[in-house]
Amino acid sequence: MKGLIFTWLLTLLGVSSSIISPYYGFLVYVALAVLRPDSLWSSHIQGGRFSMIVAAAMLVSWCVRGFGNWKLGDNRRVVFLFIGFWVWSFFLALQAESQPHAWYFVEQMAKILLPYLVGATTVRSISDLKLLAWVIVVCEGYVAFELNMWYFSGYNYLWHIGFGGVDNNSAAIGLVTSLGVAFFLFLNETVRWKQIVIALCAAFIGHAILFSFSRGAMLATVIFAVISFFIIKKTTVHYTIFGVGLVMALILAGPEVRDRFFETFEKKDGVREASAQSRLDLWKNCYTLLMRDPILGCGPDHWPLHAHEFGWPKGKEAHSLWVQTATETGIPGIMMFMGFYVTCIWRCWRMLFRLRDDAPSWFGDSCRMTVAALVGFMVSAMFVSLEALEIPYYVALLGGAGLTIYSREYQNLPLAEETVASADWRDQIGTETVGEFQDCPVAIMN
């Protein structure tokens, strides 16, 4: 019952806060997307449309305010690659063999694209970005806490059932991506109690990744750790924190976890482990299908309809987000879809070397968390087909919106006149208020 009450309160908060600013409605929408109340509290919540209610309020508020500020700076190309991929999918759906499958794909992507655009065009300050990072970490941390409770009670719910309607491998992708945000958010925070909360969330998330027994997620975590080591600030404190986290991970990873991970690289009599070999065979078949029409592909969400042609059960997924997306949307589709993430990573990486000395530390840390988290996601997504997982898109928004705010504040990008007319109440805050947020540079319109 407490889950139902909390979900309704969260929904009411999302609707009411959207009146103040669509960005606050967006934050609640992200919270609901991560928590998945119908899975988290399934005994009391079934078929609730809480996200739809919040989304409607958020979008109405966004429209009334003139669709936000589209002066996106260095994030412009990232945003338009995402829009381009959706438009391309819409075009492919018009001529798809199975209309229900194609339009379902388009609908699912629209449910991610629209909130993403709301967030990208209404974010206004570092404080807004920190709120988004906190929402991702705390919500995913709570989900991981519940999964840990199941695990220590003697039943590995994540391994046997998964979470949110997806299996253990897919759920682990969200955990890996969130871990990157938690790590760098911890390094950025200076308040002790906040650091403790983030550390607990990171511990629950990290342990859940281990007992998910997802080898792709474990490999992605290793790669995330390596990248993080090279891009964290070169201070004794940061290296110490990194070392403590690494030691804890090694301690928590028991023999069963280590054996499961190393099975990925094992060969017996020159043959790979069955699961790994089946993925390679799937990808070869996907390539064969793609070559039939490398431009248009086989259609959105259509590979499962062709799997039986290659001897697989009908409905079989390709077990690779990138391979399946290329097969279904063709070369133009995969270039825009993968380009969305790669461009975001590249822009954030480049900004690390171009930050002004007087820029707040958040800009550097947000770039680091985006690079590390998205690289971890891209590696783990190589082994799972799940284009509708929402967390990676919002992590990309963390880095991309940071580029936008930095461009406006330090590259003197003017606000458009139409944005002034549609500005929300925060534009009226006087300059005396800015002093209260010393690390939150934001353009104040008088």
My answer on whether 173 and 26 are in the same domain is no
My answer on whether 30 and 156 are in the same domain is no
* 317 is a domain residue: yes
Boundary of a domain, candidates 17, 34, 67? 67
Among the ranges given (103-107, 227-231, 314-318, 416-420), the one the predictor scored with the smallest mean pLDDT: 416-420
My answer on whether 231 and 259 are in the same domain is yes
My answer on whether 63 and 80 are in the same domain is no
pLDDT digits (tens, 9 = 90+) for 320-329: 899 999 999 9
414 CB-contact burial (10 Å; exposed 0-12 / middle 13-18 / buried 19+) = exposed
- With both helix axes pointing from N to C terminus, report the angle between 168-188 and 215-231 in degrees, rounded to the nearest 10: 20
Residue 181 belongs to domain spanning: 70-268+310-411
* 289 is a domain residue: no
* 275 is a domain residue: no
Q: What is the pLDDT of residue 384?
A: 81
Say yes or no to pLDDT of 439 above 50.
no
Say yes or no to pLDDT of 53 above 60.
yes
Looking at residues 376-380, what average pLDDT do you find?
Answer: 86
Q: What is the pLDDT of residue 248?
A: 62
* 105 is a domain residue: yes
My answer on whether 315 and 384 are in the same domain is yes
Query: Phi and psi dihedrals of 115, rounded to 5?
Result: -60, -35
Could you please report the per-residue DSSP string of 17-80?
A: HHHH-HHHHHHHHHHHHHH-HHHHTTTT-SS--HHHHHHHHHHHHHHHTTS-----GGGHHHHH
My answer on whether 390 and 322 are in the same domain is yes
My answer on whether 149 and 81 are in the same domain is yes
CB 83, CB 121: distance < 8 Å:
no
Q: What is the pLDDT of residue 437?
A: 38
pLDDT digits (tens, 9 = 90+) for 262-315: 455 455 444 445 566 787 889 999 999 999 999 999 999 999 999 999 888 888
pLDDT digits (tens, 9 = 90+) for 241-258: 667 666 665 555 555 544
Q: What is the pLDDT of residue 216?
A: 76
Q: How many domains does the chain have?
A: 2
My answer on whether 134 and 257 are in the same domain is yes
Identity of the highest mean pLDDT range in 56-60, 185-189, 317-321, 359-363: 56-60
My answer on whether 326 and 403 are in the same domain is yes
* 323 is a domain residue: yes
